[in-house]
């Protein structure tokens, strides 16, 4: 997956987790939690959905990388470079 494809995957996960939010103007440089209602259980949904869809195991010590869209994509890009977008 390219960085842009990963961004789209993460955005779709966020839309499922927060279906009442309008994410069309999400700022990639700003923390997710500052732009949307996202508590710790919601955050774990991001981790779980990535695990289910792409079998990627994100260790708790790495959760800090999933703060903004920019840092999330940067963290995932090398780990998903040989993986295709799930159908």
Partner 1 sequence: MALNDRIVITGIGLAAPNGNSLAEYRQNLLDGKSGVVNYETRYMPPVLAGVCNFDELRYQTRRDVRRGTRAGSVAVYCANEAIRDSGLDWETVEKSRVGVYLGITEHGNVETENEIYEISQFDYDTKVWSHHHNPRTVANNPAGEVTLNLRITGPHLTVGAACAAGNAGFIHGLQMLKLEEVDVAVAGGVSESIHTFGIFASFQSQGALAAHEDPTKASRPFDSARNGIVVAEGGGICTLERLPDALKRGATIYGEIIGHAMNSDASDFVLPNFKRQAECMGLALSRAGITPHDVDLVSSHATATEQGDIGEAAALQLVFGETNAVVNNTKSFIGHAMGAAGALELLGNLPSFDDGVVHATINLDSPDQRCQVSHLVVNEPCDLRSVQHIVNNSFGMLGINSVLIVKKFDG
Residues that bind partner 1 (CB under 8 A): 16-20, 37, 41, 44-45, 48, 51-52, 57
Nearer to partner 1 by Cβ, of 58 and 85: the residue is 58
44/74 with CB nearer partner 1:
44
At what angle are helices 40-54 and 3-17 packed, to 10 degrees? 130
Using the minimum distance from each CB to partner 1, give the nearer residue, 2 or 16: 16
CA distance 35 to 4: 20
Q: Which two tokens stand for residue 63?
A: 């959760």
Q: Which residues pair with 31 in a beta bridge?
A: 68
Give the shortest CB-3-to-partner 1 separation in angstroms: 25
Minimum CB–partner distance for residue 85 and partner 1 (Å): 18
CB of residue 76 to partner 1, shortest distance in Å: 17
Sequence-ordered strand ranges (E) for 1-87? none
| Location of structure tokens 């997956």 | 1
């Amino acid at each position: 997956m390219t960085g842009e494809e990963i961004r789209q995957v993460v955005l779709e996960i966020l839309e499922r987790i927060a279906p009442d939010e309008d994410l069309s103007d999400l700022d990639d440089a700003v923390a997710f939690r500052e732009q949307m209602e996202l508590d710790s259980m919601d955050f774990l949904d991001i981790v779980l959905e990535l695990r289910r869809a792409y079998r990627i195991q994100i260790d708790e010590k790495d959760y800090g990388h999933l703060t903004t869209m920019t840092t999330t994509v940067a963290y995932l890009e090398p780990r998903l470079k040989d993986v295709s977008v799930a159908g």
